[in-house]
C-alpha cells in the first residue's frame, strides 16, 4: 500500500536527509522506524504527509503516485492519513471534545455524524469522562490519547506516529503502544517512529533502522522478525 521507490530528499543544497530509499509497507502492517536523531525518520513521515516532496524517486500510496499528485487532490489524499506527534499538538483553547470534533468540522462532516463519532472515539481511547477538560488539565498520556482519537476520527487507512511516546513516562508510553496495537489489529496500517529499544523489543514487529539518511536494516528483509 505504501511504496518508496528510490527516494532521496536533500534539504537546501547538501543536507541529504534520505538517500535512495526503497521500502514497501503492506496494508495492515505495523512498522517501527528507529534511528539516531537526524537520521531522516521525520522526513519519511513528512514525505508521506506530502508536506515535502522528494528530490528524486516516487512514492505510491494505494496505487496512487503521490509525487505527481495535483495540488487540488492533496486534501483528499491526506484524509487517508492520521498523524500523531511527540508534542501532541492539541488546540489549547478547546476542550477534549472540540479537539476531536475539529478534525471532522474542517472536512465538512455533518454535526449529526460528529455527535455520533466523537463520543465513540473518546470511549475508544478511555477518555469519555474527560470530554470537557482542556489540554492543560490532562496528563501527557491523556493528551496523547486525545491526539490519537483526533487522528482516527476521519477513519484513516494509515496512522503515522512520529515519536508518540517521546514525552511520556513508561506507563503512559505502554498505554499508548497498546492502543496503537489495537488500532492496527482493527485493520489500520500503523507506522511508528520511536527511540525506545525497549518498546521495539517487546512489541515484536517489523523494524526499519535509519542511519544518516540510509536505511541500514529492515527486520523483514534480514529475517529476524518473529
SS3 101: helix
Out of Mg ion, ligand ADP, none, what residue 39 binds, judged by CB under 5 to 8 A for its kind, is ligand ADP
In the list 42, 143, 188, 219, the residue contacting Mg ion (rule: CB under 5 A) is 42
Cell triple for 185: 489489529
CB of 112 to Mg ion, least distance (A): 39
Residue placing its CB nearer to ligand ADP in the complex, 11 or 73? 11
Residue placing its CB nearer to ligand ADP in the complex, 58 or 214? 214
CB of 41 to Mg ion, least distance (A): 5
Out of ligand ADP, Mg ion, none, what residue 59 binds, judged by CB under 5 to 8 A for its kind, is none
Q: Which residues make Cβ contacts (< 8 Å) with residue 146, sequence separation at least 6?
A: 88, 90, 96, 99, 100, 125, 127, 135, 138
Q: Residues in the site for ligand ADP, rule: CB under 6 A?
A: 11-12, 15, 17, 35, 37-43
Residue placing its CB nearer to Mg ion in the complex, 42 or 99? 42
Q: How far is Cα 88 from Cα 141, in angstroms, rounded to an integer? A: 10
Tell me if 39 contacts Mg ion by CB under 5 A: no
Residue with the shortest CB distance to Mg ion: 42
Tell me if 196 contacts Mg ion by CB under 5 A: no
CB of 36 to ligand ADP, least distance (A): 7
Residue 45's φ and ψ, nearest 5 degrees, are -65, -45
Question: What's 125-183 look like in SS3?
Answer: CCCHHHCCCCHHHCCHHHHHHHHHHHHHCCCCCEEEEECCCCCCCHHHHHHHHHHHHHH
Out of Mg ion, ligand ADP, none, what residue 17 binds, judged by CB under 5 to 8 A for its kind, is ligand ADP
Asked if residues 202 and 171 have their Cβ atoms less than 8 Å apart, the reply is no
Torsion of CA 8, 9, 15, 21, to 10 degrees: -40
- Would you tell me how many other CB atoms lie within 10 Å of the CB of residue 10? 15
Out of Mg ion, ligand ADP, none, what residue 108 binds, judged by CB under 5 to 8 A for its kind, is none
Q: What is the contact surface with Mg ion in residues (CB under 5 A)?
A: 41-42
Amino acid at each position: 500500500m505504501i511504496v518508496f521507490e528510490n527516494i532521496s530528499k536533500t534539504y537546501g543544497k547538501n543536507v541529504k536527509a534520505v538517500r535512495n530509499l526503497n521500502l514497501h509497507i503492506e496494508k495492515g502492517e505495523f512498522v517501527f522506524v528507529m534511528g539516531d536523531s537526524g537520521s531522516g525518520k521525520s522526513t519519511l513521515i513528512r514525505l508521506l504527509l506530502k508536506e515535502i516532496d522528494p528530490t528524486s524517486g516516487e512514492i505510491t500510496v494505494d496505487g496512487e503516485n503521490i509525487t505527481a499528485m495535483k495540488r487540488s487532490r492533496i486534501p483528499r489524499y491526506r484524509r487517508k492519513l492520521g498523524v500523531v506527534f511527540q508534542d501532541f499538538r492539541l488546540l489549547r483553547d478547546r476542550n477534549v471534545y472540540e479537539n476531536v470534533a475539529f478534525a471532522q468540522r474542517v472536512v465538512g462532516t455533518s454535526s449529526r455524524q460528529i455527535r455520533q463519532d466523537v463520543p465513540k472515539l473518546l470511549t475508544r481511547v478511555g477518555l469519555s469522562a474527560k470530554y470537557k477538560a482542556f489540554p492543560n488539565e490532562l496528563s501527557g498520556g491523556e493528551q496523547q490519547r486525545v491526539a490519537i482519537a483526533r487522528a482516527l476520527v476521519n477513519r484513516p487507512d494509515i496512522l503515522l506516529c512520529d515519536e508518540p511516546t517521546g514525552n511520556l513516562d513508561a506507563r503512559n508510553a505502554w498505554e499508548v503502544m497498546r492502543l496503537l496495537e489495537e488500532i492496527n489489529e482493527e485493520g489500520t496500517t500503523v507506522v511508528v517512529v520511536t527511540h525506545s529499544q525497549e518498546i521495539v523489543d517487546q512489541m515484536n514487529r517489523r523494524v526499519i533502522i535509519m542511519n544518516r539518511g540510509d536505511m541500514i536494516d529492515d527486520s523483514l528483509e534480514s529475517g529476524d522478525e518473529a
